[in-house]
Every structure is written in C-alpha cells, then in structure tokens.
C-alpha cells in the first residue's frame, strides 16, 4: 500500500521523493486515504457512491496493514437509509440526510439539495487536500487535512467555493465532522459562567444531540469549544479517548450526536444560529480549524497530547523565540487591578512597582483606568489617549521607573469596546453593533464596536500601533468585557449583514497578526472578564490567557483543574490576591494562595502596599523557588493525581520535565474531616531506575520518605505526607531532582 504514495508534496509546492513512509497515503485501488502520526492512524475513503466516508480513527496500525473497505455503508430500513447513517467526512444537506450536515446551502433558484462527492486530491506536507463537488452544481469544497507527527493530532478545515453564475447563501458550515463507531461512551465538555469557568461536565452519550455552543459573538464563559469522548472503560489515566478543540473565537457550535444506529458523530464550526454567508460567484468561505486527537491513556493522556501540540504548534513566538521549539515560560507579573481598580496614577503605580520589584517580579502591568476620562466603568472606552490628570507627563516616567527596577512594562486595553460616554462614540455612534432605530443594550455601560467594518478595524489597529510605537510596552492585556447584542451591520445589503459573524473575528485575528508583525517582541494576553475568550483560534496570536476573574485560591483549584483538560498551564495566568477574598470572603494563608497560583503561570495581583515584611519575604522566597522550576510546571507532562472536583477533600497535581530529570508536585487539603490524613501519593511519569532527591518548596513538607529514592519507589510505594499535614486550606509543594 505504501509504495503507491511515497511522493510527498511540501507546503511550498516542492515535490520530493521520500525514503521514509509519508504521513499521508492514498491507495489508488481501494481509494483509501490514510494519515499516520504519533500513536494514531486516521483513515477515510471514497465509497461506492462517490462520498468521502470515514473508515478508522484510533491507535496506530502497522504500515503493512491494508485498510480494506471493510466498513459497509450502514442502512437499516427505508427510514434509516445509508444516506443518513453513513459517516461522511463532510456531508452536504441533501439526499435524505437527517443527521447534522457539515454544509447547508440555498441556491439562487431556491434549490437546497447539496450532495458532495469526491472530485480530486492533492497531497501536502503531512496531509492531504481533498476536493468535493456537488453532483451537479459548481459548489466545490476543499477539505484540508494535516496530522502532527509527534502527537497524532489532526487539523481539519474546509474551503467552500461558489463557481456557479449566481450567488448562493451558506446557512451552515462546519470545519469538520468526526465519527466513532457504536459503543458505550462518556462525553466530557467544559461549562461555566463569569467567575465560575472551566467546570468539567461528564455525561453518558445517549441517542440524540448534545449541543455545545456560543451564540454570543465570542468564545464564551458558558461553554468552551473542546470535547473529549471516553470509551466505556476509560478513566483519568487509562482507556481510549477521542478529543477535539475548535479554533474559533466567534459564535461556534459543536454537536455530539448519537444516531439511531448508535454511531457517534461530532460536527463543529461556525454556529448556524442566525448564520447566513452570501458567496458571490468565485468567492470562497474558509471555515475555522477543528483539531482532534486520540489517546489510549485516558483524559490525562489526551490533555498531555493537547498541551504538547499547543506548545509546539499553536502558540505564537516573539522575535526573541522565533526559532525555539516552545515559547518562553511567562514572566512572573504584578497586576495592579485588585489593588487600585480604576484609581491609577503615576505615584501610586510607581509605589506598587517598587514593591513588586522587591518581590522578584519580572513584569509590571497597569490595568484599567489610565486612558480617556476613565474614572469608573461608565466612561472612556474608545478614547485611547493617556489621561493627563493621572499621568501629567504621559506614561514615560512610570515605564522608565519600571525598567530601572529591572522589570518590563505591560498595559491593559479593551480595543473592541466603546462607552456611549466617550469622544469616540459621540463622533461615530454608527460604529457600535446595532440595528438602526432599535435600542442598543448596554452591558457594563458599554457597546461592542463593529470590528467587521474596515474603518473600525483600521481605527483599532491604528491606535494600538501608535500606543506601541510611542511607549516601550512589552505586553498588552487585551480585554473584552461583554458579549454581543443587536449584531446589525447596516452598511451592507440586508442579505449580507450576517457576515458580521465571520468578518468580526477575521478582523480581530488580522489586527493581532499585524500588531505582532510590526512589534515582534510584544506579548499579548487574551482576557474576557476572565476566561470568556480562550480557544485555539485566539491562542495562535496571544501568548497567555486570563482563565477567570475569580482569584479565590480554593475555587481556582477546580478552575485550573478544568482548564488543563483543554489548555496548557503555560498560558494559564494565576494571580495571588488578597485575603479575605473579595468575592467569597474566604480567608487563606499567603502560602496556600501562592501554591495555588504556582500551579500555572504565576502572577501577583494583591495590594502589596499592605503586605507585612513577613509576607513580602515569604512571597519573595516562593517566587524565587518558582522561577527555578517554572519550565517543568508549565511545560512538563501534567498528571492530575487527585482531582479537586466533586467535593473532594484533597487535590494534587504533578508535572514531569520532558527528560524526566525533574518533577514538581502540589498537594492541597480543603478541609480535614474525621481525622483523615492525606492519601498516599503515587507519582507518575518518572524514570523507574533514576534516583530522585526530594526538596520541599514551601519549606514545611516533610513526608515520611527517604531524602533520595528511585523513580520506582516514588511511583510504586508512593509518598506518605507528614501527619501534621492537616487542617483547612493547607498546601504543600515539593520537587524531585535527578541525583
Ligand atoms: C475585566 C478583567 C479584570 C480587569 C477588569 C478591568 O473584568 O477580567 O482582570 O482587567 O476587566 O476593568
């Protein structure tokens, strides 16, 4: 089979003969495509009717294994014809299809029947482009497939082209559909709300459709575009898992469907709700990318593959790390928001910067309040000039002081928003998303600018570029503090106005790309009132995200646990803030707060003006200890040893450096009950034969273990915590280093 396909076309168009088996193969006899990468094989082919049909997705098959057409087109009765039960790779709505279509189109003459058949294909580096065409009309769909050779994660998207003489309206366009054969499965997805994001929601898959979506114009706190489907026997570290993540920061939808013959199909892409994209003759519509992968090692194995893929293939690089295989660990930041809120000024920020520098912080970030007439959240958004009452000499004196203290400087912006009380709105009221003559719903006293418009796009890019040209800014915290309402775009003909759902997000990405091109060392955080805009689309342009406005260290354990199912700790910013916590009124020790945040990319967001010398000394010591092991924590292999979910009294995580030479463990007690001690912690992922030395990080953990023991000992015997590790909101952390 392989001999048919040893010619590999590279992305640049060069064709090379490869002595190695290629990642993509096509068997001309059986018309089967096969993609191999990591531990995964994915196969699909052209069936007798000419449709593209999925055949296999799972553990890697031997290269000598032919993949025959063993999978018949499934049919049961006249009610369940093979048109609807065949797992098509990308089904048009037509010909008796009742399951979720990938593509639904209305033609100019009212015809809505679309039947896509295989037309041709071209191989590309580590993948293939397959062209489908309607059986009669000139609608062409190119399906793009690539597979990552390390993780086996597939990237799929589609380009839809209208070569008809008249316009057509695309009413529904998925990036991809993924299929699994009939079996018992559990679906996992991430849900939440403001200050309560990242709840892992698990449920058995049942006949019918589970819809995971955002209709809000952006990714949302309520649901995140990620799924994982476990086979019946699968758990955190064992069993088969199929998972995926959609790279789109606008309205999106993933449907997980079990059909009448118990087969499963996952379809994801633009949210079809209120969707309608007019394609004029020769125009094309590109869908987002839908990534998906397979792990035989449970949800833990799935998230380790995703983390590695994100680090190596998704996250952007700065000029300084352009050729590095992974981005740098994030600088430890100080952020002024919870200390000063809108009351920022030169003297106050400098005082905080001096304290932050004394802690060993790398980056000082000034949050909201520095621009326009921004005294509170009622005014100023849109007016991106420095407020001269708060900063009479501009930002330079503050930035110079921050640099002199050995830190770089970051700034908060919320570019896509406008307060009606702003010069920008008074000048351009038509720039806000709205339906003319209808009310404009404000949230947090603000409206959303219609970034889909070219003039708005140019304005936003222009002021950000100017800000970065005029000030030595290393980092932008890019916020987005509401969702859409009344998403009108009345500059376009009525039939075209729904393009806003695509063009807004495309312009957002193009602004981010252009800023990074012009300012190649600037780093950006995606924040949306916490974790409202976290997805693999925005993460191509942003270096980190703010997972939640909820900084309570105990709540954060669950938030961070949920977050890591889909996203790497590298991008998971985690601040230490004040106690009692502003939202939960919970009182916790500084050590507990620090250790909770040290599970991700550490930041300090407290009012450090009020910290005692003892607190300053403790934070300084722990920041230094964190710096030493940060690469292992944020880029190592993560094992969620004990989950904090479902009312657990305990939780623990472990990360292991890629070379297995170092490991870091965090363990937390919520509240000791009935005298129960911490369970024995059996570590994972170490090298059995290597000797590892134990060092406490926070300085109090003294487990009943030897100072040095083999990987086998830590993994098989495991470690018993000191009997004194009891109480409420307690935390310990330690590191193991190869001797
Ligand atoms: C959002 C962010 C906060 C802070 C405020 C400022 O809520 O999530 O971290 O930046 O905006 O207004």
pLDDT at 2: 32
Nearest ligand 1 atom to the CA of 412 is: 10
Of 297, 368, 549, 561, the active-site residue reads 549
- Tell whether ligand 1 has an atom less than 6 A from the beta carbon of residue 269: no
pLDDT at 71: 59
Confidence band, pLDDT 50/70/90 cuts, at residue 72: low
- Tell whether ligand 1 has an atom less than 6 A from the beta carbon of residue 527: yes
How far apart CA 575 and CA 603 sit, in angstroms, is: 4
Pocket residue to mutate for ligand 1, from 341, 367, 546, most atoms within 8 A of Cβ: 367
- Tell whether ligand 1 has an atom less than 6 A from the beta carbon of residue 338: no
pLDDT at 66: 77
- Tell whether ligand 1 has an atom less than 6 A from the beta carbon of residue 546: yes
Statement: residue 547 has pLDDT above 60: yes
Pocket residue to mutate for ligand 1, from 414, 549, 575, 583, most atoms within 8 A of Cβ: 549
User: Separation of 193 CA from ligand 1 center, angstroms?
Assistant: 15
**pLDDT above 70: percentage of residues in the chain:** 96
User: Separation of 191 CA from ligand 1 center, angstroms?
Assistant: 20
pLDDT at 630: 98
- Tell whether ligand 1 has an atom less than 6 A from the beta carbon of residue 259: no
Statement: residue 622 has pLDDT above 80: yes
- Whose CA is closest to atom 2 on ligand 1? 529
Pocket residue to mutate for ligand 1, from 337, 476, 477, most atoms within 8 A of Cβ: 337
Phi, psi of 213 (to 5 degrees): -160, 165
pLDDT at 17: 35
Strands 523-526 and 475-478: parallel
Q: How do residues 391-410 score in pLDDT, each as one tens digit?
A: 999 999 999 999 999 999 99
User: Separation of 167 CA from ligand 1 center, angstroms?
Assistant: 43
Average pLDDT of the residues in 506-524: 98
Are 632 and 657 a contacting pair, CB within 8 Å? yes
Confidence band, pLDDT 50/70/90 cuts, at residue 74: confident
Average pLDDT of the residues in 360-381: 98
Statement: residue 5 has pLDDT above 90: no
Cα atoms in the Cβ-side hemisphere of radius 13 Å centred on 373: 8
Q: How many CB atoms lie within 10 A of CB 444?
A: 13
- Tell whether ligand 1 has an atom less than 6 A from the beta carbon of residue 414: no
- Whose CA is closest to atom 8 on ligand 1? 529
- Whose CA is closest to atom 1 on ligand 1? 529
pLDDT at 722: 86
How far apart CA 597 and CA 291 sit, in angstroms, is: 29
Average pLDDT of the residues in 491-510: 97
Average pLDDT of the residues in 687-709: 88
Distance in Å from the first CA to the final CA of the chain: 48
- Tell whether ligand 1 has an atom less than 6 A from the beta carbon of residue 529: yes
pLDDT: is 84 or 5 the higher one?
A: 84
For residue 561, give every residue at least 6 positions away whose Cβ sits within 8 Å of its Cβ, in sequence order, or none: 198, 200, 640, 643, 644, 645, 651, 653
- Tell whether ligand 1 has an atom less than 6 A from the beta carbon of residue 337: yes
Pocket residue to mutate for ligand 1, from 197, 374, 375, 479, most atoms within 8 A of Cβ: 479
> 280 burial class (0-12, 13-18, 19+ CB within 10 angstroms)?
exposed
How far apart CA 550 and CA 183 sit, in angstroms, is: 39
User: Separation of 370 CA from ligand 1 center, angstroms?
Assistant: 13
pLDDT at 703: 65
479 catalytic? Reply is: yes
Nearest ligand 1 atom to the CA of 527 is: 8
- Tell whether ligand 1 has an atom less than 6 A from the beta carbon of residue 532: no
For residue 379, give every residue at least 6 positions away whose Cβ sits within 8 Å of its Cβ, in sequence order, or none: 372, 373, 419, 421, 422, 445
- Tell whether ligand 1 has an atom less than 6 A from the beta carbon of residue 171: no
pLDDT at 292: 98
pLDDT at 199: 98
Statement: residue 68 has pLDDT above 80: no
Average pLDDT of the residues in 691-709: 86
Pocket residue to mutate for ligand 1, from 368, 377, 444, 478, most atoms within 8 A of Cβ: 368
Statement: residue 305 has pLDDT above 80: yes
User: Separation of 530 CA from ligand 1 center, angstroms?
Assistant: 7
- Tell whether ligand 1 has an atom less than 6 A from the beta carbon of residue 368: yes
User: Separation of 215 CA from ligand 1 center, angstroms?
Assistant: 22
How far apart CA 330 and CA 574 sit, in angstroms, is: 11
Strands 728-738 and 662-671: antiparallel
- Whose CA is closest to atom 9 on ligand 1? 549
User: Separation of 397 CA from ligand 1 center, angstroms?
Assistant: 24
**pLDDT above 90: percentage of residues in the chain:** 91
- Whose CA is closest to atom 7 on ligand 1? 529
Q: Which helix or strand (DSSP H or E) is residue 352 part of?
A: helix 346-359
Statement: residue 7 has pLDDT above 60: no
Average pLDDT of the residues in 349-373: 98
pLDDT at 14: 31
Of 148, 383, 479, 543, the active-site residue reads 479
User: Separation of 219 CA from ligand 1 center, angstroms?
Assistant: 17
- Tell whether ligand 1 has an atom less than 6 A from the beta carbon of residue 92: no
- Tell whether ligand 1 has an atom less than 6 A from the beta carbon of residue 412: yes
pLDDT at 143: 98
pLDDT at 435: 97
Average pLDDT of the residues in 128-139: 98
Q: How do residues 550-567 score in pLDDT, each as one tens digit?
A: 999 999 999 999 999 999
- Whose CA is closest to atom 12 on ligand 1? 368
Nearest ligand 1 atom to the CA of 546 is: 8
How far apart CA 600 and CA 521 sit, in angstroms, is: 22
pLDDT: is 724 or 326 the higher one?
A: 326
Q: Return the SS3 of 644.
A: coil
pLDDT at 9: 29
Are 103 and 116 a contacting pair, CB within 8 Å? yes
User: Separation of 478 CA from ligand 1 center, angstroms?
Assistant: 10
Cα atoms in the Cβ-side hemisphere of radius 13 Å centred on 259: 27
Can you say whether the dihedral through the CA atoms of 349, 376, 545, 190 is positive or negative? Answer: positive
pLDDT at 723: 86
Q: How do residues 565-618 score in pLDDT, each as one tens digit?
A: 999 999 999 999 999 999 999 999 999 999 999 999 999 999 999 999 999 999
65 catalytic? Reply is: no
- Tell whether ligand 1 has an atom less than 6 A from the beta carbon of residue 549: yes
Nearest ligand 1 atom to the CA of 367 is: 10
Q: Maximum CA pair distance of the chain? A: 79
DSSP 502: H
Nearest ligand 1 atom to the CA of 529 is: 8
Statement: residue 514 has pLDDT above 80: yes
User: Separation of 529 CA from ligand 1 center, angstroms?
Assistant: 6
User: Separation of 145 CA from ligand 1 center, angstroms?
Assistant: 38
Q: How do residues 149-186 score in pLDDT, each as one tens digit?
A: 999 999 999 999 999 999 999 999 999 999 999 999 99
Nearest ligand 1 atom to the CA of 477 is: 10
Average pLDDT of the residues in 684-704: 89
User: Separation of 34 CA from ligand 1 center, angstroms?
Assistant: 47
How far apart CA 180 and CA 157 sit, in angstroms, is: 19
User: Separation of 367 CA from ligand 1 center, angstroms?
Assistant: 8
Average pLDDT of the residues in 92-109: 97
Q: How do residues 208-264 score in pLDDT, each as one tens digit?
A: 999 999 999 999 999 999 999 999 989 999 999 999 999 999 999 999 999 999 999
- Tell whether ligand 1 has an atom less than 6 A from the beta carbon of residue 257: no
How far apart CA 632 and CA 623 sit, in angstroms, is: 15
């Amino acid at each position: 089979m392989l001999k048919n396909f040893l010619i590999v076309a590279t992305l640049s168009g060069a064709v090379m003969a490869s002595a190695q088996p290629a990642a993509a193969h096509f068997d001309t006899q059986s018309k089967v495509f096969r993609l191999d990468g990591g531990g995964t094989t994915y196969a699909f082919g052209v069936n007798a009717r000419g449709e593209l049909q999925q055949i296999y997705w799972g553990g890697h098959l031997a290269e000598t294994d032919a993949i025959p057409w063993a999978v018949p087109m499934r049919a049961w009765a006249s009610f369940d014809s093979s048109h609807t039960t065949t797992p098509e790779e990308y089904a048009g709505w037509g010909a008796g299809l009742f399951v979720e279509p990938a593509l639904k189109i209305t033609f100019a003459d009212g015809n809505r029947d679309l039947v896509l058949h295989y037309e041709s294909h071209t191989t590309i580096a580590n993948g293939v482009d397959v062209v489908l065409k309607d059986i009669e009309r000139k609608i062409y769909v190119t399906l793009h497939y690539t597979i990552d050779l390390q993780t086996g994660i597939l990237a799929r998207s589609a380009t839809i082209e209208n070569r008809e003489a008249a316009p057509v309206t695309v009413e529904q366009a998925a990036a991809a559909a993924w299929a699994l054969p009939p079996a018992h499965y559990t679906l996992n997805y991430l849900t939440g709300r403001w200050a309560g994001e990242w709840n892992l929601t698990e449920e058995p898959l049942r006949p019918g459709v589970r819809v995971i979506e955002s209709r809000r114009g952006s990714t949302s706190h309520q649901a995140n575009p990620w799924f994982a489907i476990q086979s019946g026997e699968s758990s955190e570290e064992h069993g088969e898992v199929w998972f995926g993540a959609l790279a789109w920061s606008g309205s999106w939808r993933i449907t997980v469907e079990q059909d009448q013959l118990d087969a499963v199909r996952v379809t994801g892409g633009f949210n079809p709700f209120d969707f309608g994209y007019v394609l004029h003759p020769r125009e094309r519509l590109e869908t987002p990318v839908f990534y998906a992968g397979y792990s035989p090692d449970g949800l833990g194995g799935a998230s380790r593959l995703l983390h590695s893929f994100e680090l190596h293939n998704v996250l952007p690089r700065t000029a300084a790390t352009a050729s590095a295989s992974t981005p740098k660990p994030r600088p430890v930041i100080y952020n002024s928001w919870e200390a000063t809120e809108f009351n920022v000024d030169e003297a106050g920020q400098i005082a905080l910067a001096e304290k932050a520098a004394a802690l060993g912080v790398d980056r000082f970030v000034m949050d909201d309040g520095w621009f326009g007439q921004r005294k509170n959240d009622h005014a100023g958004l849109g007016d991106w000039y420095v407020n001269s009452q708060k900063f009479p000499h501009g930002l330079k004196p503050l930035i110079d002081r921050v640099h002199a203290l050995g830190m770089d400087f970051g700034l908060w912006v919320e570019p896509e928003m406008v307060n009606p009380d702003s010069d920008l709105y008074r000048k351009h009221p038509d720039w806000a998303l709205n339906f003319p003559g209808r009310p404009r719903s404000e949230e947090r006293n603000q409206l959303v600018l219609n970034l889909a418009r070219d003039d708005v796009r140019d304005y936003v890019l222009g002021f950000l570029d100017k800000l970065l040209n005029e000030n030595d800014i290393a980092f932008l915290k890019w916020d987005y503090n509401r969702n859409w309402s009344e998403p009108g775009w009345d500059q376009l003909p009525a039939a075209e106005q729904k393009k806003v759902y695509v063009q807004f997000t495309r312009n957002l990405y193009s602004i981010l790309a252009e800023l990074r091109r012009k300012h190649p060392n600037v780093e950006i955080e995606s924040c949306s009132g916490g974790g409202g805009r976290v997805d693999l689309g925005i993460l191509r342009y942003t270096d980190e995200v703010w997972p939640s406005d909820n900084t309570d260290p105990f709540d954060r354990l669950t938030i961070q646990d949920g977050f890591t199912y889909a996203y790497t700790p590298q991008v998971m910013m985690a601040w230490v803030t004040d106690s009692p916590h502003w939202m939960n009124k919970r009182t916790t020790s500084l050590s507990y707060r620090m250790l909770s945040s040290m599970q991700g990319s550490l930041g300090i967001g407290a009012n450090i003006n009020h910290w005692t010398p003892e607190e300053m000394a403790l934070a300084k010591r722990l920041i230094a200890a964190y710096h030493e092991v940060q690469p292992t924590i944020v880029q190592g292999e993560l094992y969620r040893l004990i989950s904090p979910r479902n009312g657990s009294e305990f939780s623990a995580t472990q990360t292991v450096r890629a070379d297995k030479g170092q490991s870091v463990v965090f363990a937390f007690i919520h509240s000791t009950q009935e005298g129960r001690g911490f369970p024995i912690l059996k570590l994972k992922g170490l090298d059995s034969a290597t000797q590892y030395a134990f060092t406490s990080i926070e300085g109090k953990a003294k487990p009943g273990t030897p100072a040095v023991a083999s990987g086998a000992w830590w993994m098989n015997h495991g470690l018993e915590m000191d009997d004194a590790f009891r109480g409420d909101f307690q935390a310990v952390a330690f590191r193991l280093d190869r001797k």
